[in-house]
């Protein structure tokens, strides 16, 4: 447990009520922050972690919050499932659920706006919002702000469509083109994303020739993981029947024809090797934080938010204690993972809720020193490198206490039957009607 004493003192004691909470980004982190906060304000145990009071049934005042979630997409996209969504049309349908169709968000105090957060002014506590499809901007004033907009990733790592209908078309085209590839598909980049893309494609379409190309002599070469994990990943990729070219750096790709006159691509590698393929998917580019809307003073040189352990903005930010950042866009230890994003959402919800209680107490005119009884703020611990990586029918897992494990059972435990869709959906309790709790 930590504390936000300095920051809390700077909070406005004559706050608006219900509290207006603005969450930028409606995926793992953002939905976790919004829904855990909703639980706490209703006097319920938070859905993604232990009750801060340590008790199952909570005795604390219930109060109202108005939660606005802003996302560029019109629905929740299960990003982990992207490699499968781009390999199987049946799964494509499943991986994107429109916000209107998510039962947990059906609550009069939660609204979801489709559009972008363009700017945030922490001093005035106003965000600038641009609605999807219109150039018009409007102001969204808030009492608490949560940045959960993740990282920007390129196609075909992630579908770029912002509406489900368009996404189905985009992904469907890709799946059909890949599966018709007579000369095979090449995935360039042996990081976690490239490995999953190659293995899912081969699993779903065993007749396809799928080749994974990596420029280094180990897969996952940029991850701070033991060599044993990297070697096990390579073993599983080979067991999945994916051809692997290690230490091959792609130089260029040219349009050509095969011996029958069919159009295809010729790939040239810097070591002189060349091969034909019909489709080349690049899984090499570094994703960048989607934080351009935040003041540069809260960002590091790469654009990650310099959070404090309690997940608030850096201490020199105006109203720092009312501004949280969670998920992939924060500068923190550990490999970027959806579990960490949901965990941070729970932390942020708890810390917001503790502050709201203090503000209500202060607003009621009581002595600040005595109130509220024993606030408990959560702090993020250092996160060691850990990973769960799906490789076709099997998965490899690693975290320091457990070491390396792999196989079909690891796949079942970490990803279930649907590449983690059900695990995340159930953890966030997205299927439970928000009006009924």
Q: Is 339 in the site for ligand FAD (CB under 6 A)?
A: yes
What's the min distance (Å) between Cβ of 23 and ligand FAD?
9
What's the min distance (Å) between Cβ of 374 and ligand FAD?
31
Q: By C-beta, is 7 or 389 nearer to ligand FAD?
A: 389
Q: How far apart are CA 374 and CA 364, in angstroms?
A: 17
Q: Is 74 in the site for ligand FAD (CB under 6 A)?
A: no
What's the min distance (Å) between Cβ of 118 and ligand FAD?
7
Q: By C-beta, is 212 or 275 nearer to ligand FAD?
A: 212
Per CB under 6 A, the list member of 52, 83, 156, 189 interacting with ligand FAD is 83
Q: By C-beta, is 203 or 341 nearer to ligand FAD?
A: 341
Interface positions, 115-144, toward ligand FAD (CB under 6 A): 116-117
Q: Is 156 in the site for ligand FAD (CB under 6 A)?
A: no
Interface positions, 342-371, toward ligand FAD (CB under 6 A): none
Residues 23/142, Cβ–Cβ less than 8 Å: no
Residues 299/305, Cβ–Cβ less than 8 Å: yes
Q: By C-beta, is 41 or 390 nearer to ligand FAD?
A: 390
Of the candidates 191, 202, 226, the one whose C-alpha atom is nearest the C-alpha of residue 389 is 191
Per CB under 6 A, the list member of 4, 102, 110, 193 interacting with ligand FAD is 193
What's the min distance (Å) between Cβ of 276 and ligand FAD?
26
Stretch that binds ligand FAD, among 8-16, 71-79, 361-369, 373-381 (CB under 6 A): 71-79
# of chain residues touching ligand FAD (CB under 6 A): 37
Instruction: Decide the pairing of beta strands 75-77 and 65-71.
Output: unpaired
Stretch that binds ligand FAD, among 7-15, 250-258, 269-277, 334-342 (CB under 6 A): 334-342
Residues in CB range of 311: below 8 A, 6 or more apart? 324, 325, 326, 330, 344, 347, 348, 351, 380
Instruction: Decide the pairing of beta strands 126-131 and 110-121.
Output: antiparallel
Q: How far apart are CA 409 and CA 203, in angstroms?
A: 17
Compute, in degrees rounded to 10, the torsion defined by CA atoms 184, 188, 189, 194: -40
Instruction: Decide the pairing of beta strands 210-213 and 243-245.
Output: parallel
Per CB under 6 A, the list member of 4, 11, 21, 27 interacting with ligand FAD is 27
Residues in CB range of 165: below 8 A, 6 or more apart? none
Q: Is 148 in the site for ligand FAD (CB under 6 A)?
A: yes
- Where do the DSSP E strands lie in 88-241? 96-98, 110-121, 126-131, 137-141, 144-147, 151-152, 185-188, 210-213
Supply the DSSP string of 135-154, one letter for each residue.
--EEEEE-SEEEE---EE--
Per CB under 6 A, the list member of 82, 281, 319, 359 interacting with ligand FAD is 82
Query: For residue 394, what are its two tokens?
Result: 């099997």
Q: By C-beta, is 276 or 415 nearer to ligand FAD?
A: 415
Q: Is 398 in the site for ligand FAD (CB under 6 A)?
A: no
What's the min distance (Å) between Cβ of 11 and ligand FAD?
25
Q: Is 223 in the site for ligand FAD (CB under 6 A)?
A: no
Residue given tokens 């790592």 in the structure block: 157
Q: How far apart are CA 313 and CA 123, in angstroms?
A: 12
Residues 419/80, Cβ–Cβ less than 8 Å: yes
Q: Is 25 in the site for ligand FAD (CB under 6 A)?
A: yes
Give me the residues that bind ligand FAD (CB under 6 A), please: 24-30, 70-73, 79-80, 82-83, 116-117, 148-151, 153, 157-158, 193, 196, 290, 293, 327-328, 336-339, 341, 388, 390
């Amino acid at each position: 447990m930590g504390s936000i004493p300095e920051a809390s003192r700077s909070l406005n004691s004559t706050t608006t009520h219900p509290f207006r909470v603005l969450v930028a980004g409606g995926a793992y982190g953002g939905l976790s922050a919004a829904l855990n906060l909703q639980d706490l304000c209703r006097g319920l145990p938070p859905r993604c972690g232990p009750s801060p009071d340590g008790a199952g049934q909570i005795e604390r005042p219930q109060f109202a919050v108005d939660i606005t979630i802003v996302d560029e997409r019109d629905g929740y996209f299960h990003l982990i499932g992207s490699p499968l969504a781009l390999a199987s049309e049946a799964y494509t349908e499943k991986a994107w659920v429109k916000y209107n169709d998510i039962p947990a968000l059906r609550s009069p105090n939660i609204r979801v706006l489709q559009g972008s957060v363009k700017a945030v002014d922490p001093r005035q506590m106003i965000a600038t919002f641009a609605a999807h499809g219109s150039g018009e901007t409007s102001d969204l004033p808030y009492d608490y702000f949560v940045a959960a907009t993740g990282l920007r990733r390129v196609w075909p790592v992630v579908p770029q469509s912002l509406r489900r209908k368009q996404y189905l078309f985009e992904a469907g085209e890709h799946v059909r083109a890949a599966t018709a590839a007579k000369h095979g598909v090449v995935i360039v980049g042996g990081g976690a994303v490239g490995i999953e893309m190659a293995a899912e494609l081969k699993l779903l379409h065993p007749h396809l020739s799928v080749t994974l190309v990596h420029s280094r002599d180990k897969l996952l070469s940029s991850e701070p993981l033991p060599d044993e994990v990297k070697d096990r990943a390579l073993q599983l990729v080979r067991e999945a029947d994916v051809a692997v070219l290690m230490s091959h750096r792609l130089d260029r790709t040219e349009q050509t024809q095969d011996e029958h006159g069919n159009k295809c691509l010729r790939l040239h590698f810097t070591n002189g090797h060349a091969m034909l393929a019909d489709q080349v998917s690049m899984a090499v580019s570094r994703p960048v934080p989607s934080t351009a809307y935040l003041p540069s003073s809260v960002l590091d040189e790469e654009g990650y938010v310099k959070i404090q352990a309690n997940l608030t903005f850096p201490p020199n930010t105006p109203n720092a204690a009312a501004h949280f950042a969670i998920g992939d866009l924060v500068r923190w230890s550990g490999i970027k993972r959806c579990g960490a994003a949901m965990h941070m959402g729970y932390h942020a919800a708890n810390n917001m809720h503790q502050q709201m209680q203090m503000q209500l107490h202060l607003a009621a005119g009581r002595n600040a020193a005595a109130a509220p009884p024993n606030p408990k703020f959560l702090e993020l611990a250092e996160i060691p490198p850990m990973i769960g990586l799906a490789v076709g029918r099997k998965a490899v897992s690693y975290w320091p206490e457990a070491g390396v494990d792999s196989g079909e059972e690891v796949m079942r435990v970490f990803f279930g039957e649907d590449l983690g869709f059900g695990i995340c959906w159930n953890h966030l309790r997205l299927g439970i009607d928000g009006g009924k709790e």
